[in-house]
Amino acid sequence: MSAVSDGPALDGLPAQSTGVAAPRPSGLLRGQLPGGLTVLLIAPLLALLAFAFFAPILRILAASVLEPRPGLSNYARLLSQPLYMDVIIRTLWISGACTALALLLGYPVAVLMARTRGGWATVIAACVLVPLWTSTLVRSYAWILLLDRNGILNGLMSKAGLISQPIDMLYGNAAVLMAMTHMLMPFVILPIYSALQSIAPELGQAATNLGAGPVRRFWSVTLPLSLPGVSAGCLLVFVMALGFYVTPALLGGPKTLMIATLISQQATELLNWPFAGAISGVLLALSLGIAVTFKRWLDLGRVVAHD
């Protein structure tokens, strides 16, 4: 951006035409803060993040390459043992399946939310937002109440005569996948809803006037215009699912170890912090790699500060 184009042209002519070097536009004129004040305002937060966020992460990553001896031995061990590779692959497929399910179940809800007005709109919004405002810990507990051997679903099914023996539904991949999909669905519904809301209603009207039926209107107008919301929601869900800890730890068993639960197991049960650090390095590389690669799609403001 050139200084000239931003500069005030008080006489109605571009400053350049006077032949005099244009003065650097003062930031004050655009309501900007001076540089020194800017630094002063942001410094406390940067200092806090450096101490309580970035330093701890660098520390665990440093441990992964320096202990027990400098080198990549922790990473070599992680990548060479099928047991650990299985955990990484399971995490990837559970996260992928969770994203697909959340999209499949969330898209219709977003469509309904965007087209409903009045009292029902409040009910739908409550169904989407109340789970979002409930901690994953509380919701994991709720899923245990539902799926336990003596839990709600087994009770209802035996009362209805559907089963004679309680079924074990907890501690398997299915329980973890279902509960995680439930936890992450609001994160795909909200961005899609926001994208659908910004579609001008005239577009649908125009399609109808041109003879498109409801199906064609969906495929050629609604769906393509909602894709920014779909990509933002799916990315967010996939990245969050990769690092999910509470739900797999409480609802999963030894056979459903995911990357985050493996990290915790190595650190707290086996006290192998450097190896936990190496697994953390891989998880961090996956999450940040995806977030940075698709930065353009990942619109965090759309979810957190959705208007």
Partner 1 sequence: MTDRLFRTLCVAILVFLIAPTLLIVPVSFSAGSEFRFPPPGLSLQWYRTFLADDDWVDATLFSLGNAVLTAGLATVVGAAASLALVRGRMPGKALLEALLLAPLIVPPIVLAIGVYLQFAPLGLIGSRLGFILVHTALAVPYVVLVVSAALQRLPPSLEMAGLNLGASRIRCFREITLPLVWPAMLAGSVFAFLASFDETVVSFFISGIEHKAVTRKMFEDIEFSISPVIAAASTLFVAASIALMLLAGAARAAARKRTAA
Q: What residues from 119 to 138 belong to the interface with partner 1 (CB under 8 A)?
A: 124, 126-131, 133-138
Shortest distance in whole angstroms from residue 169 CB to partner 1 = 13
Interactions with partner 1, residue window 14-73 (CB under 8 A): 27-35, 37-39, 41-42, 44-46, 48-49, 51-53, 55-61, 63
Q: What is the dihedral of CA 22, 23, 28, 30, to 10 degrees?
A: 10
Nearer to partner 1, 18 or 163 (CB): 163
Q: Are 94 and 176 within 8 A, CB to CB? A: yes
Judged by CB, which is closer to partner 1: 98, or 185? 185
Output 203 or 249, the one with its CB closest to partner 1. Answer: 249
Residues 194-223 that bind partner 1 (CB under 8 A): 214
Chosen residue from 22, 121, 144, 199 binding partner 1 by CB under 8 A: 144
Q: Where are the alpha helices (DSSP H) in the chain?
A: 3-6, 35-49, 55-66, 73-80, 82-115, 119-133, 136-147, 152-159, 173-197, 201-209, 214-217, 223-242, 246-251, 259-264, 273-293, 300-304
Residues making up the chain, counted from first to last: 307
Sign, Cα dihedral of 292, 294, 296, 300: negative
Omega of the bond prior to 131 within 30 degrees of 0, cis?
A: no
Nearer to partner 1 by C-beta: 43 or 72?
Answer: 43
Q: From the CB of 258, what's the least distance to partner 1, in Å? A: 10
Among 76, 145, 162, 270, binds partner 1 (CB under 8 A): 145
- Residue 14 C-beta: closest distance to partner 1, Å: 23
Min dist. Cβ of residue 24 to partner 1 (A): 11
Two structure tokens written together for 248: 């797999």
